[in-house]
Copies of this chain bind each other. A is one copy, B any other.
Amino acid sequence: MNVLLTGGCGYIGSHVAVVLMSAGHRVSIVDNLSNSSRTVVDRISAIVGQSPAFYCGDVGDVELVRSIIRENSIDSVIHLAGFKSVGESVQLPLKYYQNNICGALGLLQAMEAESVSHLVFSSSATIYGDPQYLPVDEAHPQHVINAYGRSKLHIEDMLRDVSAARPSFGVVCLRYFNPVGAHPSGFIGDRPRGIPNNLMPYVVQVASGELERLRVFGGDYPTPDGTGVRDYIHVMDLAEGHVAALNYLSSHSGWHAFNLGTGRGYSVLEMVRAFEAESGQTIPFEITDRRQGDVACSYADIRSAARELNWRATRSLEDMCSSAWAFQRRLSVD
C-alpha cells in the first residue's frame, strides 16, 4: 500500500512508519515539525534501510495534501497529526480546535477530492472520561472534560457523518490507552519538549539525572497501592495495531472504533519498580496532590480489536521499560 502518514515525525508516527515500511508498504510523511524534528526521518531511514517521502507542511493545507496524494498514488491515510497536551488544551482551547479539527477537515477534503477512501484516525481513551465500569469497552459512555479530548471526539463524530454520506469510505478510529516504550534500536522514542506530562518520559529523565525526582500525582486513589492505574501499551504493539487497521479497511467500509491497549492496568508505583529493575537505576519520587482531570483507574476491553483486527499487544511491561531506557541512553550518547 501507498500510505500517507500525517504527524509521521512524532513519537507514535515514527514507530508506525517503521512498522509500515518494514511490512513492505510505501510511506509518505507530512508533518509541520511543530512538535517534532526532521532528524526523525533520518532515524526511520536508518532503521528500515530506506527513506520515506517527507513533506514539511500542514495537514489542513488542502492543495499540499492533494499534490502529495497524487505524486505518491496514495491509497490509504493514517492521520496522527495533532496537538496532544491536555493541560495546554484547557488553557488554549481555540488553538487546539483550530489545529486538530480544521486540520482533520482539510485532510478529509483533500482525500475526498482525490478519491482516497481509507483512513485510520488516532483517537484516545480520554473520550471515555472517568470509567463507569472496567474494562472500558468501545460502547462505554463518552464524557470529555478538556478541549484535547473533545477535539478527538468531535473528529470521530464527523467521520461517522462522512462515512454515512460516502458508502465507499472506510475509517477506523483507534482509541489509544497509554503508549510507552520505544523501538528496540533505541533510535526513535518519546522525547517531549519541556517537562514531560506523561509518566514514562518523566521516569526516564529522572533515571538519567535530567530531572531530580518523580512527582506522583495522588497516593490516595482507591487502587491497591493508592496510585493511579493505567493500561500502558508498548508503542511497537500500538504501531502494529495501525497496520492491522489498514488491513481491516481492505475488506470493510463504514465507521469503526477499536481500543488499543493490553487489557491490564499497572499502577504508577508498579511501573516505577519495573523501570528500576530493568534500568538498575533508583527513581526517587514524592507523592503529591492529585492532578485535576486524572482518573483512578483505566484499562481497556481489548476483545473487539482482537476479534475484528486480529491484533493483540504482545510485549511486556519489562520490554516497555527497557526499550524506553535504551532510547534515553542513546540520546545521551548522541
Contacts and interface: CB of A to CB of B under 8 A. Distances in A.
B161 A93 contact: yes
Interface in A62-117: 90-94, 97-98, 101-102, 105, 108-109, 112
A147 B161 CA distance: 7
B98 A109 contact: yes
A108 B92 CA distance: 12
Nearest to A62: B98
A157 B165 contact: no
B105 A162 contact: no
Given A101-B101, A105-B101, A94 B162 contact: yes
Interface in A151-189: 154, 157-158, 161-162, 164-165
A24 to B, nearest CB: 32
A185 to B, nearest CB: 40
A93 B165 contact: yes
Task: Name A's interface SS.
Answer: helix
Q: Count this chain's copies in the assembly.
A: 2
A26 interface: no
Contacts of A97: 101, 105, 158, 161
A147 B165 CA distance: 10
A118 interface: no
Interface string A99-142: 00110010011001000000000000000000000000000000
A150 interface: yes
Nearest to A157: B150
Contact of A93 (B98, B147, B158): B158
A105 B109 contact: no
Contact of A154 (B112, B154, B162): B154
A92 B165 contact: yes
A147 B163 CA distance: 12
A188 to B, nearest CB: 33
A96 B93 CA distance: 21
20 contacts: A90-B164, A90-B165, A91-B165, A93-B158, A93-B161, A93-B162, A93-B164, A93-B165, A94-B105, A94-B162, A97-B101, A97-B105, A97-B161, A98-B102, A101-B105, A146-B161, A147-B158, A147-B161, A150-B158, A150-B161
